[in-house]
Structure 1
């Protein structure tokens, strides 16, 4: 069961991420639904298991085998056990925290689109989608809190780490993949003035047709809008202060209901916006977004700036990290936000060392032509939002693949030892808890031998 418990916590606590994937998959297919497992009042549906399993297989986190599906089902049962025991033990989480997290997840789902887009895509009202996500988040946070409570105060000593590593069979010593430390400084290339003027004049003409000629904002948004709200007449639905980029909200909160703004710019492009309603810090508006042609940019000035900055760093007048914080424009909305890290790319675990598999193919090829410790010349780069940019790359370090050792990987081995220690405590907890809870698994899954199933 130790292996199962380890899998349970590597998968069960990514269930909120699955919720988003689950919504996307629901928009593509329907699964015949029924209850396949129950822990007290908590249920697991066939669709939950099937869709979650497909997402994890496609992500490469599970093989497509019956055994893997059984392990996943047990991880989901474990999650429900934690919830059931948390209810008994009166373990709760802050409703305010869940509300904030829900809003953040909703923003990520919307990606600037109208809530009506999601309603049409998923066949549910926006409020129902929000309520389901909120419940999923709440359950996951409660389960995490319960797990923390069970393992509270558990630590690891250097002696325990050494003993753990010493008893590992040779074929179980993990291989640490090739890793890199890489940083960048990015400069977004400014639009040519004639392209900027072209877009602004187009929007000014549209605004004149609305304000002076009386044409409907909604009609023109459907004709000229260039984002996901186009099909809904530019309707962004009800939004709360802080949901949208500051440049957009600064304009909205200066408008009166029914008023149409002047042309303004955000990181997405150029807009005009019409305020429909406002209730305190909440508002509903329509907008028309025109995205400029980002191939029409000025390159020479930013190239000279980056090349000069590179030379300054090379003679040790300024560190790359300080230069990135001060000058890199890879920050904020629709960016990798490397500037905040001193220019460094971060791994999925939030570490500065990035496994080779997590590097994008182009960056990997660039590093293959560089020597450790060097800084590249300015090279063209496409930002996540499509804008053209230039960047310089700092290849700080490369760590070849190797078998883990106490000398070079003590912290990682300590994490593994601590996880094993916590899993032992959790294993004892589950063995006791399963006798205090009602656990039922559908007959067709009896072969999975879910612990304590009836």
Structure 2
């Protein structure tokens, strides 16, 4: 059943924050799953969050929330049997990531605490049990499907079983390559940014508060509002230069100013926990000068001419000269952002950035756009790029030959859903499940209760 595929994304949404409103309800046991109980207050807190996001009141949402909680309980109970656990450092990291995101959206820690009607420290401890249970449930579901593969024969069988009038229609899709050049600053051009970072570092060494300085001056949008706090991270989570320094510092120690692709940083390690470090930092991003932009424009114009005149293959030029680390090792080809896992290069034209669409709209397959100035949406760095239109696929009804990668993805999703659904069906039959009468008529929960129980509830309502 497809609903299980999205059950955790929905639950994560509801667990994101708790409403600052006080939930006034006489608590009761809403459901029992094996040896675990789900309280009405658990449901009400998540329903309050649903309302706090601007949604209209809808009592039926409580049915969905309860179904999500029931699902979680089954998974976590099996996880105990299978010895599936998550470490406290992983829970901390997840909570810290959430709090950074929440703090950023709220406009700062003070505003967030006002909304929550509690301190972040208190809220963090309140979140911990639910977050830990969620992480265990996710890991348990992953273990259920980890050995599930799909063969070409299964893909073919899946496609052949789709009624012809139900075959998906695909709009125009394109394969687009990019070659990106960002301006490179000289040592002299970088010096003012280094000096700014060093001035802040010396001020902190002299007594300025690190968190306050980060909130005021750091240019890292993901951590500035949290006082520069990055939470716990391992050696694979950050860029190489950052990680090397973070794992060399002792708790409390402040680094010298150092450079990464994002600009100049300095950091302070707050805690060490095994192979994870919690640190905070201040970033002063570098900005291109007019002269450096002129140099970058001349460089990309030269590359463009070589590629256009067939003196250098586009894929070779991208691997040698492109500054986009995501695409240069893929022959310069851009991936469909909505299907990164399948690594498909076919992108619906309505998913292209407006500037990119304008650049390739009049091109024929095999042609290149002129270099143009752009701003990277991830790093906000300004540079130049030109695009290569490799292919353009006209609107069509799905076919196995033309759309094998997409059909395979659909077949895999269908098989995973069936595997998970069958697992839940077996577990429900062997697990004691009882629900309060209030929920027995929920359409979403019919599969969770015995037929005689449902019949009794309907009779009572009549």
1:342 — aligned with what? 331
Q: 1:298 to 1:170 in 2, by over 3 A?
A: same
Determine helix, strand or coil for the equivalent of 2:403.
helix
Q: 1:362 to 1:434 in 2, by over 3 A?
A: same
Does structure 2 conserve the Cα–Cα contact (< 8 Å) formed by 1:188 and 1:387? yes
2:4 — aligned with what? 9
The answer to whether the aligner puts 1:373 opposite 2:366 as a matched pair is yes
Q: 1:296 to 1:415 in 2, by over 3 A?
A: closer
How far apart in 2 are the matches of 1:285 and 1:417? 43
Q: 1:215 to 1:439 in 2, by over 3 A?
A: closer
Q: 1:173 to 1:102 in 2, by over 3 A?
A: farther
2:143 — aligned with what? 145
How far apart in 1 are the matches of 2:45 and 2:75? 18
2:195 — aligned with what? 201
List aligned pairs for 1:381-400, cutoff 5 A.
381-383=374-376, 384-400=378-394
Determine helix, strand or coil for the equivalent of 1:137.
helix
2:458 — aligned with what? none
2:43 — aligned with what? 46
2:156 — aligned with what? 161
List aligned pairs for 1:54-93, cutoff 5 A.
74=67, 77-78=70-71, 80-85=73-78, 87=80, 90-93=81-84
Determine helix, strand or coil for the equivalent of 1:182.
strand
Does structure 2 conserve the Cα–Cα contact (< 8 Å) formed by 1:272 and 1:289? yes
2:351 — aligned with what? 358
How many residues in Structure 1 have an aligned counterpart in Structure 2? 426
How far apart in 1 are the matches of 2:145 and 2:270? 46
Does structure 2 conserve the Cα–Cα contact (< 8 Å) formed by 1:184 and 1:392? yes
Cα deviation for residue 254 of structure 1 reads 5.9
2:459 — aligned with what? none
Residues 269-289 of structure 1: CA deviation (Å, up to 9, x unaligned): 323445677788666666443
Residues 320-378 of structure 1: CA deviation (Å, up to 9, x unaligned): 334333322223xxxxx233433332222222222344333332333323322222221
Q: 1:190 to 1:423 in 2, by over 3 A?
A: closer
Q: 1:29 to 1:227 in 2, by over 3 A?
A: farther
The answer to whether the aligner puts 1:303 opposite 2:333 as a matched pair is no
Q: 1:385 to 1:140 in 2, by over 3 A?
A: same
Does structure 2 conserve the Cα–Cα contact (< 8 Å) formed by 1:206 and 1:220? yes
Match of 1:321 among 315, 328, 331: 315
Does structure 2 conserve the Cα–Cα contact (< 8 Å) formed by 1:182 and 1:393? yes
Residues 42-76 of structure 1: CA deviation (Å, up to 9, x unaligned): 64842576489789999xxxx99988986776566
Does structure 1 conserve the Cα–Cα contact (< 8 Å) formed by 2:374 and 2:384? yes
Greater mean deviation of Cα atoms: 198-207 or 389-398: 198-207
How far apart in 2 are the matches of 1:367 and 1:69? 48
Determine helix, strand or coil for the equivalent of 1:298.
helix
Residues 244-264 of structure 1: CA deviation (Å, up to 9, x unaligned): 443334445666777655433
**Structure 1 length as normaliser, TM-score?**
0.72
Match of 2:133 among 126, 132, 135: 135
Q: 1:293 to 1:309 in 2, by over 3 A?
A: closer
Cα deviation for residue 84 of structure 1 reads 4.2
Does structure 1 conserve the Cα–Cα contact (< 8 Å) formed by 2:100 and 2:226? no
Determine helix, strand or coil for the equivalent of 2:3.
helix
2:460 — aligned with what? none
Q: 1:169 to 1:257 in 2, by over 3 A?
A: closer
Q: 1:231 to 1:189 in 2, by over 3 A?
A: same
Residues 411-432 of structure 1: CA deviation (Å, up to 9, x unaligned): 5445545655666666555544
Determine helix, strand or coil for the equivalent of 2:441.
helix
Determine helix, strand or coil for the equivalent of 1:397.
strand
1:178 — aligned with what? 172
1:334 — aligned with what? none
Does structure 1 conserve the Cα–Cα contact (< 8 Å) formed by 2:254 and 2:267? yes
1:247 — aligned with what? 241
Does structure 2 conserve the Cα–Cα contact (< 8 Å) formed by 1:187 and 1:390? yes
Q: 1:358 to 1:447 in 2, by over 3 A?
A: farther
How far apart in 1 are the matches of 2:272 and 2:315? 43
- Unaligned 5+ runs, structure 2: 454-462
Does structure 2 conserve the Cα–Cα contact (< 8 Å) formed by 1:184 and 1:344? yes
Residues 366-398 of structure 1: CA deviation (Å, up to 9, x unaligned): 332332222222111112222211112122122
Residues 184-224 of structure 1: CA deviation (Å, up to 9, x unaligned): 1222223476653323333444455566xx44354765664
Q: 1:255 to 1:389 in 2, by over 3 A?
A: same
Cα deviation for residue 436 of structure 1 reads 1.6
Determine helix, strand or coil for the equivalent of 1:381.
strand
